[in-house]
Structure 1
Amino acid sequence: MLTPVLVYGIPLDFILFGLTLLGVAIFHHHTLAVALTGLAAIVAYKLLFAGFAKFGAGLPGLVHHMEHEWVTLANLFLLLMGFALLSRHFEESRIPDEMPTLLPDDWKGGLLLLVIVFVLSAFLDNIAAALIGGTVARHVFRSRVHIGYLAAIVAASNAGGAGSVVGDTTTTMMWIDGVSPLTVVEAYVAAAVAMLVFAVPASLQQHRFSPIVKDAPSDLKIDWARVAIVAAILLAALTANVSANLKFPALLDVLPVLGLAVWAAILLTALLRRPDWSVMPETFKGTLFLLALVTAASMMPVEKLPVASWQTALGLGFVSAVFDNIPLTALALKQGGYDWGFLAYAVGFGGSMVWFGSSAGVAISNMYPEAKSVGKWVTQGWPIIVAYVVGFFVMLALLGWHPDAPH
């Protein structure tokens, strides 16, 4: 019988995972190697000593565990790879070059762009919203985008999806589990306050670093075929998400529906315009990094959370910055007793505090490799941490903590 190893009462699994995250923070030029090494160490330990909780010991336990996780991992892989191609279609449509004529010339232009990302994320996947924001930023700021502003783009996409059951994987999970969309929408109270707190400092920061361009190219010609392709891909994702949740929820447990819909649209529209496949190798590295961390997190012996309370929900937001929020949300749904609006905000927005804390952060970091530094992300994106706490307590003061009845 396998016996888990404890170090001063702490399971060795957590220590190995913590060392992996520390390695990512320190060796930010070698994040993929660190993540894969950490995952290999955790898998080896689980095989030899601890087993895989409810899935059993040894190789059969590992196989059953991966059977349980593969849909989540496949969806993340397909979405990150697919939306990278979408962002290139959007860039080559020349619409980002047109944006200087639509955005104000000063710091308010950067602020309006963050608001646009926030609104888009309420309807689209937050990865797509973040990549669209990052693509526009690269053009309107002459490719000189401050890391603090990149963090704000990620935060805006996560905040925009926090109150929408189609805007984030975690809120979609709540919807599938029976939580009312009207309960989740309360998260926008905190998300809107958080936006006010971090968006202005981030926009001023970016304006000082590299002001917005004042004029679009005079000979600009929009490629409307690429615009149509972007719209088709996003519509496919939205339609698949809503229809699967409403009519075929069981399908979501056995197939990566959202990712497959995105790639079906990409391949079909390739007949109209060829995707820029050259972005795939670098995107693959970033995607593999996130999948390694998500897989490692899924193996942690988190069988239950502390007693449901607003303090626990607040803490889960900070945990979400370094620990995948999907298993955290699944545990919270199983446990019950939460005010789901608070939890949606915490696990949705909390991942913005570190670059690998959300899939949107990893997607932006694939586009801007200089953002793959925990130190720079935290020190230059500090308004996000402040915004998270302020938004949470404003929501608590205005709405109060009201645990929802079993759903």
Structure 2
Amino acid sequence: MLVAVPAHAAGLPAVSGIPVDFILFALTLLGVALFHHHTLKVALTGLAVISLYKIGFTGFNEGAGVTGWLAHLQHEWVVLTNLLGLLVGFALLARHFEDSGVPHVLPRFLPDDWKGAFVLLVMVFVLSSFLDNIAAALIGGTVAATVFRRRVHIGYLAAIVAASNAGGSGSVVGDTTTTMMWIDGVAPLDVTHAYVAAVVALMVFGLIAARQQQAWQPIQKDASAGKHVDWVRLGIVTWILAAAIVTNVTVNTRFPEISDSFPFLGAAVWVAIVLAAPLRKAEWSLLPDALKGSIFLLSLVMCASMMPVEKLPPASWQTSFGLGFISAVFDNIPLTALALTQGGYDWGVLAYAVGFGGSMVWFGSSAGVALSSLFPEAKSVGAWLKGGWHVALAYVIGFFFMLAVVGWHPHTPHKAETAAPVAVQPAH
């Protein structure tokens, strides 16, 4: 369970021992949950209120007042710009993949009964390992809408989001949270053991959700007849992903001293998109909505970066387990930002917790937010919890299976400027 340490010792304003910073952040996230039709306004308002509070009362690690705020922005601009480039760029990449015809051809290879629904979730899982969880969820939703004739059970929608988040949890190009870890300096191999838990979780929620969907609306494989693959568009998808992977590996392994000075990853994605434009036109009309959604997420990340993380509990498997549940309502992107600033986690365990844990509620992950744009009925917390109860069950089973098989192996802080020394606890 996540409990704030009393702030009076550090002289920070607090209510019942909880720093006001966290209270303001929690209210912002509560507003996002309650007013899901006005999420951008709520996030920007929260960012403005927290910024003004920090400027007027507590200051920043970089200094006090407006000067400290500007210095903090300068410190965070590379991470924020990288995320902006990836989030908006992957929206175009997802459309390239959709227009390639692959999502429409895939149903030909699906079994006719509940096993077809399960295999589709497996496909989403695999796609998410290299295609980003947002793109994988949108592709999975597009295929599901086709083969189930738009009658998709909300429990199955939750499973699509869960499959995309589980598949991306062990890959630094598969989830926004793991990409954040990579951008921040975490080694790609340090998150791969998240798959130990993710595969188990997939078996749990996938089998249940597949039977839910079969009972609700059986699969219709003939919907894909006459569709063909556009190999040029599929090549563009591969080209963009390759540009991102090669750039990030090169910068972080050969030139780590400049990795924090420029948003190389985001820039690489956009250079690749622009260079591929003469071959197939990108769907530029997606940019306004993608930009709006990205600003919403970046506002939450910026809010998280201003939290007094030295007041968080010590990094431990218990804390990671609790963060999984909190990510369902707290949004896993700012949670990851907090954990990265704190340091000292087993990054694979944390990647599974905050990545998959966000699937338990529709707005707990960017994949859920994206899929809800295709299926507005998903924007009901009650219906999501009732239909997708198996996701929470799968999270718990997967987490403790990973802990039993792999254990808890915390990594030393990967950056010298980590906010405070972090105590780590061994697994019992």
Normalising by structure 2, what TM-score? Answer: 0.83
Q: What SS class does the counterpart of residue 56 from structure 1 fall into?
A: coil
| Cα 1:181–1:281 shift into 2, 3 Å | closer
Q: Deviations over 1:194-234 (max 9, x none)?
A: 11111122223333344322214543343332222222222
Once residues 406 and 81 of structure 1 are traced to their aligned partners in structure 2, the CA distance between those partners, rounded to angstroms, is: 30
Q: Which residue of 149, 152, 156 maps to 1:149? A: 156
Query: 1:180 and 1:359 mapped to 2: Cα distance?
Result: 23
Equivalent in the alignment of 1:139 = 146
Of the candidates 201, 222, 246, which is equivalent to residue 208 of structure 2? Answer: 201
Cα distance change of structure 1 residues 302 and 377 upon mapping to structure 2, 3 Å threshold: farther
One of 290, 293, 297 as aligned partner of 1:290: 297
Give per-residue Cα distances to partners, 1:230-288, cap 9 Å, x unaligned: 22222222322333332233343222222222211211111112112222222222222
Stretch deviating more after TM superposition (41-50 or 304-313): 304-313
Aligned to 1:320, the other structure's residue is in SS state helix
Counterpart for residue 33 of structure 1:
41
Contact kept, 8 Å, 1:99 with 1:140, in 2: the verdict is no
Which amino acid counterpart does residue 136 of structure 2 have in structure 1?
A
User: Which deviates more, 148-157 or 395-404?
Assistant: 395-404
Instruction: Give the 3 Å change call, closer, same or farther, for CA 254–183 of structure 1 in structure 2.
Output: closer
Report the Cα distance in structure 1 between the residues aligned to 2:287 and 2:271, rounded to whole angstroms. Answer: 17
Q: Shift of residue 5 of structure 1? A: 3.1
1:382 to 361, 380, 389: 389
CA distance in 1, matches of 2:72, 2:371: 29
Structure 1 gaps of 5+ residues are none
Residue aligned with 2:24, SS? helix
Change (3 A) 1:219 1:153: closer
Structure 2 residue corresponding to 1:362, chosen from 366, 369, 374: 369
SS of residue paired to 1:356: helix
* Kept in 2: contact 1:166–1:241 (CA 8 A): no
For 1:405 and 1:297, how far apart are their aligned partners in 2? 21
Cα distance, 1:182 vs. partner?
A: 5.4
Tell me which amino acid in the other structure corresponds to 1:45. Y
Secondary structure of 1:275's counterpart equals: coil
Tell me the CA shift for residue 399 of structure 1.
3.6
1:79-90 paired onto structure 2 within 5 Å: 79-90=86-97
1:263 and 2:270 matched: yes
Closer, same or farther: CA 159–262 of 1 in aligned 2, 3 Å: same
Match of 1:109 in 2: 116
In the alignment, which residue of structure 1 is the partner of 2:404?
397
Q: What is the number of residues matched between the two proteins?
A: 402
Show the counterpart of 1:16. 24
- The answer on whether the counterparts of 2:79 and 2:184 sit within 8 Å (CA) in structure 1 is no
Instruction: Give the superposition deviation at 1:177.
Output: 7.8
| Preserved CA contact (<8 Å) 1:305 1:331 | no
Give the fraction of aligned pairs with identical amino acids, expressed as a percent: 65
**Equivalent AA in structure 1 for residue 339 of structure 2:** T
Alpha-carbon distance in 2 for matches of 1:240, 1:355: 32
Match of 1:62 among 69, 73, 86: 69
Distance 1:262 1:183, change over 3 A: closer
1:306–1:312 Cα contact (<8 Å) kept:
yes
